[in-house]
Amino acid sequence: MNRRDFLQKSGAVGSAGLSLSFAHQQQPPEPQDQQPVEPEPQGRLPYTGPNVVLVRFGGGVRRRETIDFPENTYCPFIYHELYQRQGGVLFPKMEIESLEGIQTSHGQGTLYILTGKYDRYEDVTGRFLSDRFEAKVPTLFEYFRRKYDVPAHQALIVNGEDRINEEFYTFSNHHVYGVRYSSTVLSLYRFKTFLLREEIANGRFEGRELEQKQRELRDMENRDYRVENRARVATPQLDAFWRKWREHYGRSGMVNPRGDRLLTTLSLWALRELKPKFMMINYQDPDYVHWGPRQFYHRAISIIDEGVREIYNATQGDEQYRDNTVFVVVPDCGRDSNRSMPVPYQHHFNTRSSHQIFALIAGPRRFVPHERLAVDRTQQQIYVAKSIGEIMDFPTPHANNRSLLAAT
Ligand SMILES: [Zn+2]
């Protein structure tokens, strides 16, 4: 992605607070034939397995600044603590396979992780670079919630504020799975939707302004156009969560932390307020190096590392999570190593290095039995899916059937 594309895609960057009108950036396609949303099925099992925190070490991070040189790593907590001291298993030779049509980018990598399948993704809006992808096979959250009776607010994806396309990775179009088993997104976009819905309900607007605000809310909610029953998107648990958030940070969006620090804060709040069993955090800020100086990249890696440390510490201080939580860390894609560029890792243009990533799985020994091990074998990013399925004990029939842990 070049600078212009990046700026287009991240139009929200640098604008102030929540005054952004996401609703008008892109319109969703017209609703197509939608299947009625069925009630959540009965007879699912209670979940008693470990909690999983899946950290998308995102915005494209290659091995060099993370795991290749431990003494110079920009993510010392992840490397020295989670891996070395807490008994993690490191997969230093993980890659995104070089296949026709398989891209090394953020949305794609996220969906490879979530579905366990390499696939060509085409934007469903037909708009240039809007990266609005839909998974054709189930996501991990769907597998999980189809087997276990876990409410949607305990299967969470924590998203950044300037990648609206990622709001839609919560479920696939698979007919057996899909929206009934979707995850719930925590993001400022969702907060803004909540605020607007509440303000309209409380009679804050009237006349033409009311009409305009109602239209705006409809646009925002309809971005997730596959969801027919809007009432299911706003659950009492999420409304209560955002009400507390508003009490603490106000309405402006200016007081809360920004960027990837916001994702950490949302995740910490989620652990406390919602008690997720499975939470994916889509960190993204190292990607700012597309249009900024190299320090953006290094600093952003460290901010994610610090975030993982805080989240790990929070789980250790909470009975529900202590000794019962597995961390899985994996980048969405790598970055270039182009020595002819002033910043060799500015982009990720499907080069060898942008295929080269890593993964780390760390948790109590009964869930992650091989401690302090580096698995010196090439692994695929799509193996992460089955690995999480094994840890949480749910089948992943449409994902690649290799598990990272079996390979150890
Ligand atoms: Zn990028």
Domain spans, the chain: 43-186+234-392
Mean pLDDT of the chain: 86
In this structure, the number of other CB atoms found within 10 A of the CB of residue 205 comes to 15
Q: From ligand 1's centre to the CA of 93, what distance in Å?
A: 21
pLDDT at 38 over 90: no
- CB of 97 closer than 8 Å to CB of 355: yes
Q: From ligand 1's centre to the CA of 32, what distance in Å?
A: 31
Average pLDDT of the segment spanning 371-398: 93
pLDDT at 150 over 60: yes
CA-wise closest residue to 355 among 118, 121, 138, 159: 118
> Please, is 29 exposed, middle or buried when counting C-beta atoms within 10 Å of its C-beta (0-12, 13-18, 19+)?
exposed
- CA distance linking residue 275 with residue 279, whole number of Å: 9
- Give residues whose Cβ lies within 5 Å of ion ligand 1: 1, 60, 287
pLDDT at 267 over 70: yes
Q: Directed axis angle between helix 383-392 and helix 140-147, to 10°? A: 20
Q: From ligand 1's centre to the CA of 149, what distance in Å?
A: 36
Q: Which amino acid is at 105?
A: S
pLDDT at 354 over 70: yes
Q: From ligand 1's centre to the CA of 58, what distance in Å?
A: 9
| 12 three-state secondary structure | coil
Q: From ligand 1's centre to the CA of 18, what distance in Å?
A: 23
Q: From ligand 1's centre to the CA of 282, what distance in Å?
A: 13
Model confidence band, residue 299 (pLDDT cutoffs 50, 70, 90): very high
Run of H or E residues at 379: strand 379-380
Q: From ligand 1's centre to the CA of 350, what distance in Å?
A: 11
Q: Are strands 51-56 and 89-95 parallel, antiparallel or unpaired?
A: unpaired
Average pLDDT of the segment spanning 133-145: 91
| 256 three-state secondary structure | coil
Q: From ligand 1's centre to the CA of 235, what distance in Å?
A: 33
Average pLDDT of the segment spanning 359-375: 86
Model confidence band, residue 218 (pLDDT cutoffs 50, 70, 90): confident
CATH of 43-186+234-392, one of 3.40.640.10, 3.40.50.20, 3.40.720.10, 2.60.120.260: 3.40.720.10
Give residue 225's pLDDT. Answer: 56
Model confidence band, residue 33 (pLDDT cutoffs 50, 70, 90): very low
Q: From ligand 1's centre to the CA of 390, what distance in Å?
A: 31
Q: Looking at residue 401, what DSSP letter applies?
A: S
Model confidence band, residue 8 (pLDDT cutoffs 50, 70, 90): very low
Average pLDDT of the segment spanning 259-271: 97
In this structure, the number of other CB atoms found within 10 A of the CB of residue 296 comes to 18
Give residue 373's pLDDT. Answer: 84
Average pLDDT of the segment spanning 32-58: 78
Q: What is the pLDDT of residues 179-203, one digit of tens each?
A: 788 889 999 988 999 999 999 999 9
In this structure, the number of other CB atoms found within 10 A of the CB of residue 24 comes to 10
Q: From ligand 1's centre to the CA of 300, what distance in Å?
A: 13
Give the percent of the chain with pLDDT over 70.
83
- CA distance linking residue 21 with residue 216, whole number of Å: 8
Q: From ligand 1's centre to the CA of 272, what distance in Å?
A: 32
Give residue 226's pLDDT. Answer: 63
Q: Are strands 356-362 and 325-330 parallel, antiparallel or unpaired?
A: antiparallel
- The first and second tokens of residue 209, run together, are 């302004």
Cα 112 to the center of its chain, rounded Å: 12
Q: From ligand 1's centre to the CA of 224, what distance in Å?
A: 24
Distances (CA, A) of 300 to 60, 178, 200, 215: 11, 34, 37, 37
Q: From ligand 1's centre to the CA of 334, what distance in Å?
A: 9
Choose the weakest-confidence range: 22-26, 84-88, 158-162.
22-26
Model confidence band, residue 132 (pLDDT cutoffs 50, 70, 90): confident
- CA distance linking residue 237 with residue 303, whole number of Å: 29
Query: What is the radius of gyration, based on Cα positions, of the chain?
Result: 20
Average pLDDT of the segment spanning 122-146: 80
Q: From ligand 1's centre to the CA of 60, what distance in Å?
A: 6
Average pLDDT of the segment spanning 392-402: 97
Give residue 50's pLDDT. Answer: 98
Query: Which one is predicted more confidently, 325 or 19?
Result: 325
Q: Which residues contact 245 (CB under 8 A, 6 or more apart)?
A: 191, 256, 269
Q: Which amino acid is at 180?
A: R
- CB of 94 closer than 8 Å to CB of 323: no
Give residue 408's pLDDT. Answer: 52
Give residue 127's pLDDT. Answer: 64
Give the percent of the chain with pLDDT over 90.
66
Give residue 27's pLDDT. Answer: 44
Q: From ligand 1's centre to the CA of 283, what distance in Å?
A: 12
Q: From ligand 1's centre to the CA of 186, what distance in Å?
A: 22
Q: What is the pLDDT of residues 238-249, one digit of tens each?
A: 999 999 999 999
Q: What is the pLDDT of residues 51-95, one digit of tens each?
A: 999 999 999 999 999 999 999 999 999 999 999 888 899 999 999
